[in-house]
Amino acid sequence: MLSAAIALVGAVVYGSADFFGGLAARRLRSIVVTALSAFAGLVALAIALPLMGGVWSTEDVLWGILAGGFGIIAIALLYACLAIGPMSILSPLTAVVSAVAPIVWGLTIGGETLRPLGYAGLAVALVAVVLVGFVPGEKVVRPQARGVLMGVGAGLAIGAFLIVMDNTSAESGIVPLLMSRATSTVVTTLIVGTLMIVALRRGRGATSVWDVAGAPLGATPSGRADLEHIETVSVPLAITRMRALWFAVVCGVLDAAANALMLVALRLGDLSIVSALTALYPAGTILLAAVVLRERVARVQWLGLALALVAGGMLGLA
């Protein structure tokens, strides 16, 4: 029960991070938001390490680096598939795959077993993931095969992140998360740095590459996106570059906290249950958009939120 509750809280925190990442990406490039939030999360984890503890071992360090690699792959594929669209189909598809992959792994290779109530709870959770992640108002069109493949790939990469973290030892504490975030920080910083050097050689200012170009998709270091729930807000929000920078920092800190909650939930419970509940992360984005931006929540999403609570209760009792 405790593991399921922590996973649900972690999902809401993940969604909250996506909300702030999405706001930042309305003013800054997604890769810049990703780099800044990754660095902020790295600093937060470094500060938390002496308090939470963790034993350093070669195996856990390598698991952390591998998880960071999967996160980078997820980011690239997620942005690509969302740019192709339609987002109303590809966003829920990515979320479902990110849940199904660890569920299958946990119930087969991981040797996890659930009671009938648990299997029913997984089914309810997957339905909730689709409903919560659905972006209403979009014209439904048939997705391209390339977009579908990229969405599936992004979901698999996110699922792989969870599987890898589940393989870390309990004694390692948050060391694997620290190494994962360090990997993301190094790679994304190198990309932003390269863009800045290219801009300077072309006679433009280095910070000129910071500003958003194209559709603002939003970003978090774990590879999730804001699903553009903030694109049609009823209350306009002026976002300066400085405000966007702070939003990116908040995104990184919240995402690091969500990762820590996810890791605790994994070590207390089953991968299959934690992954199903973690995939409900759009709930946090939707709720914050409704409260802060007064965005209307569609009925289908309210139904998804209700089913998420039902699934959480069922899985907690499984």
Looking at residue 204, its pLDDT comes to 81
What is the arithmetic mean of pLDDT over 64-91?
A: 79
User: For 49-54, what is the mean pLDDT?
Assistant: 86
CA distance 281 to 297: 15
Residues of the domain holding 266:
2-317
In terms of phi and psi (left: phi > 0; alpha: psi -120 to 50; beta: otherwise), the region of 199 is alpha
Q: What angle do CA 127, 130, 132 make, to 5 degrees?
A: 105
Map residue 142 onto helix, strand or coil.
coil
Residue 169 tokens read as 């030892």
pLDDT for the residue numbered 63: 96
Residue 185, both tokens: 């920080």
What average pLDDT score do residues 154-163 get?
Answer: 91
* Model confidence pLDDT, tens digit, residues 123-145: 998 888 888 777 666 555 667 78
pLDDT at 200: 86
According to DSSP, the residues that pair with 211 across neighbouring strands are: 28
pLDDT score recorded for residue 250 = 94
Q: Which of 41-45, 63-67, 203-207, 213-217 has the lowest mean pLDDT?
A: 213-217
Look up the pTM and report it: 0.85
Question: pLDDT-based confidence at 297, cuts 50/70/90?
Answer: confident
Average pLDDT, the chain: 82
Amino acid present at 173: G
Distance CA(24)–CA(243), nearest Å, equals 8
* 3-state DSSP assignment of residue 139: coil
Q: Where are the beta strands (DSSP E) in the chain?
A: none
Q: What are phi and psi of 212, to 5 degrees?
A: -65, 145
Which parts of the chain fold into alpha helices (H)?
2-24, 30-52, 58-84, 87-107, 116-133, 145-166, 175-201, 241-268, 271-278, 282-292, 299-317
For 285, the enclosing helix (H) or strand (E) is helix 282-292
The percentage of residues in the chain with a pLDDT greater than 90, rounded to a whole number, is 29
Most confident of 7-16, 235-244, 255-264, 282-291: 255-264
Domain count, the chain: 1
Strand-pairing partners, residue 28, are 211
Query: pLDDT tens across 262-293, in order?
Result: 999 999 989 999 998 888 887 877 788 777 77
* Distance separating alpha carbons of residues 73 and 76, to the nearest angstrom: 5
